[in-house]
Amino acid sequence: MADKAAPDATRRSQRSHRAILDAAIGLVGEVGYPKLTIEAIAARAGVGKQTIYRWWPSKAAVLLDAFVALGERAAREAGGAEAYEIPDTGDLEADLKMVVRATVDELNSPEYDAPSRALAAETVINAELGAEFVRRVLEPQLQLYVKRLRAAQDAGLVDPAIDPRIALELIVGPLAHRWLLRTLPLTHEYGDAVVEMVLRGITVR
């Protein structure tokens, strides 16, 4: 109907879109995934249900888009960069520590904690949602590590026999383990120690 939207309508659209994603993130942290509804998201965002269904087929789809947007925002805030990637200053240890510290800060931030735990809890028991979460949210973030580690291999710093897709899990796995299971505090010092231990194992001697 509104294929050629006027500038005002476009701005309204963008505001609604953002309000819906924010509402989804806020609500899932408060009520958990099983009790999240399109109705409640619409009410909090101040839009009609049909506005949401025009853009997304399900609450899972809204929520995953909301987490993609949250991740992109966190990356921009952490790096200040336009591009969504791990910087390459030539110093692999410094670059990895920077991104790991930013991840630690994000995981420890109150606005991220409750929504992310609600989503993680559901992905653990809901294989279909879990697969979509991995495909749309998690794997693209993990591929940033693959890219940075490959660049370090090209630069002759990391052993070419190392599989970057496995090496990155030695970094993000321990962070996720501490965060999800709350075994011990998730701190910058811990992140630094993990990066140092992994690099001892994968760098060229």
Smallest separation, CB 107 to a second copy (Å) = 12
Select 16 or 123, whichever has its Cβ closest to a second copy.
123
Select 83 or 161, whichever has its Cβ closest to a second copy.
161
Residues near a second copy, by CB under 8 A: 32, 117-118, 120-125, 127, 130-131, 133-134, 138-139, 142, 162-163, 165-167, 169-170, 172-178, 180-184, 190, 193-194, 197-202, 205
Contact at 8 Å (CB) between 118 and 33?
yes
Token pair, residue 120, equals 């993680």
Q: What is the CA angle 192-193-197, rounded to 5? A: 120
Helices (H), the chain: 7-31, 38-45, 49-55, 59-79, 92-108, 110-125, 127-133, 139-154, 164-181, 188-202
Select 66 or 167, whichever has its Cβ closest to a second copy.
167
Contact at 8 Å (CB) between 9 and 47?
no
Select 19 or 68, whichever has its Cβ closest to a second copy.
68
Smallest separation, CB 29 to a second copy (Å) = 10
